[in-house]
Amino acid sequence: MLKYMAAVLGVAIAATQAWGVVLHVDATPSDKPADAVVGRWGSATTCVAVGPEWVVAATHQGGGAGTPVTLGGATYVVTEVHDSGYDFRLARVARPDGSRAALADYVALSHDPVSLVGRKVVVAGYGRSRGAPLVGSDGTVYGYLWGTAGVLRWGTNTVDAVYGNFLSADFDPPPVKPLSTTTTTTTDSIGSTTRIVGTPRTLKTLEAESDGEAALASGDSGGGWFARHPETGRWEMVGLSVSVSRDGASWFNPPDCMYAVRSSLCAAWAEAIMAAATPLTVTAATDVGWIYENAPLTTLNRHDAVLVLSVTDDPCGNDAYDVTVEQTGGSGLVVVEPTEDPMVWMVRGGPVASAAAGDVVLTIGVRGLDAGGQGQTACPLTVRRLGDVDNNGGVEPTDLSALINCLNGCRPEGCDPRAFDLDGNGGAEPTDAVILINILNGIMPT
């Protein structure tokens, strides 16, 4: 396959007012990502925005820190570059004064491992346009020379094959439609012969029949192949344009091919770099400062705290987050459980049979799902021994005395009302006194 990938798309060319991408007819797809998603890398090639501060391009395009990038009419400067093991690079950009780029338009990189063969994609680039038609001796148009470059152009194509790391699509001719014809019948000694004579497929005819089929040309390296995610409907970049099979022209009879590095090969790698480089400010707090140990039957694991998380500063503008919560320190023990809301977690006291009392440190990690970035914070919590009403570290007769006073309507000052509810059913009752008496007698709750 590689022997056909002869023409690298990153060839330097003069930037003039012309269309990029070779099309049968100049017509923009009605459904496509925003124009500002696709930008100029340097002065002659293309790149794609994949985060508020990040673009991807092909490694063979060259450049590095200091390379100018134009997106949505604004100029940015590359501040750092990360090259993968493929012809695929990730670059961070900033405004010329050094402030954050804060790009508003970008797409996610596709993780989809399913074959894209047969999938229709939208392609874009700032490369060379359709030039003069290539016409055969019979007047039939079979391709186009490359024209000038410098202006963004969109088109469509269909993925025809996957070759290892690459997606491949060919430049199909316009749909075949009946042309004006004449029918002649001749008779000879063998019999009658009918011959249909058609009008040659001129450039004008090809334009009229075009369905938006596109080919890539020099300067389109670093452009994207885009498709909507089958579940979310959001635009994703499924491939990065890197090469075509012919230099200087695009043929559709026979059809030339164009190639893209599969985004799924580099998505996780790129997102890890973007996340580490873009901090999110995360806060976390529990609704109570302490919880009792639990027993499966006696308390039904009702001694718990609600952990609520929030992202107070997200330069990436994510709408959704992946969250992890785990105990990373302290002598106490808790059980952490997620809820339907990733920003709300339940923290239950550990089992009394394991002597779970003590201080606890929870570590929370948050990662942006839409545009990357990650943050971390910690939250303290205390687990009391079940029955330690006065919070002095042990279960003693003084705790029983305090509980009895509470049941008699004389709740001691300084004791948290929750401390008298040993079974966690919502109030202080004689059954709580029974639990405490059993603990004092060495009978642990079950």
- 246 in the same domain as 97: yes
Q: Per-residue pLDDT tens for 69-104?
A: 999 999 999 999 999 999 999 999 999 999 989 899
Q: Per-residue pLDDT tens for 386-436?
A: 999 999 999 999 999 999 999 998 888 888 999 999 999 999 999 999 999
- 240 in the same domain as 102: yes
Q: What average pLDDT does range 280-291 have in this prediction?
A: 96
Question: Is residue 180 within 8 Å of 169, Cβ to Cβ?
Answer: no
Q: What is the mean pLDDT of the chain?
A: 87
- 245 in the same domain as 313: no
Q: Per-residue pLDDT tens for 123-147?
A: 999 999 999 999 999 999 999 999 9
Last residue of a domain, one of 340, 370, 386: 386
Question: Is residue 435 within 8 Å of 425, Cβ to Cβ?
Answer: no
Beta-carbon contacts of residue 272 (< 8 Å; ≥ 6 apart): none
- 287 in the same domain as 265: no
What's the pTM? 0.65
Q: pLDDT value at position 411?
A: 85
- 127 in the same domain as 12: yes
Give the CATH number of the domain where residue 296 resides: 2.60.40.60
- Which of 157, 126, 165, 158 is closest to 18 using CA atoms? 126
SS3 label, residue 112: coil
Q: pLDDT value at position 282?
A: 96
- 224 in the same domain as 78: yes
Any domain includes 346: yes
- 164 in the same domain as 111: yes
- 298 in the same domain as 262: no
Any domain includes 204: no
Any domain includes 347: yes
Last residue of a domain, one of 335, 370, 386: 386
Q: Reply yes or no on whether the pLDDT at 106 is more than 50.
A: yes
Give the CATH number of the domain where residue 442 resides: 1.10.1330.10
- 112 in the same domain as 159: yes
Q: pLDDT value at position 7?
A: 52
Q: Per-residue pLDDT tens for 256-267?
A: 999 999 999 999
Range of the domain at 401: 387-446
Task: Say what percent of the chain tops pLDDT 90.
Answer: 71
Q: Per-residue pLDDT tens for 356-378?
A: 999 999 999 998 887 778 899 99
- 264 in the same domain as 329: no
Q: pLDDT value at position 177?
A: 53
How many domains does the chain contain in total?
3
Q: pLDDT value at position 119?
A: 92
Q: pLDDT value at position 208?
A: 43
Confidence band for 232, pLDDT divided at 50, 70 and 90? confident
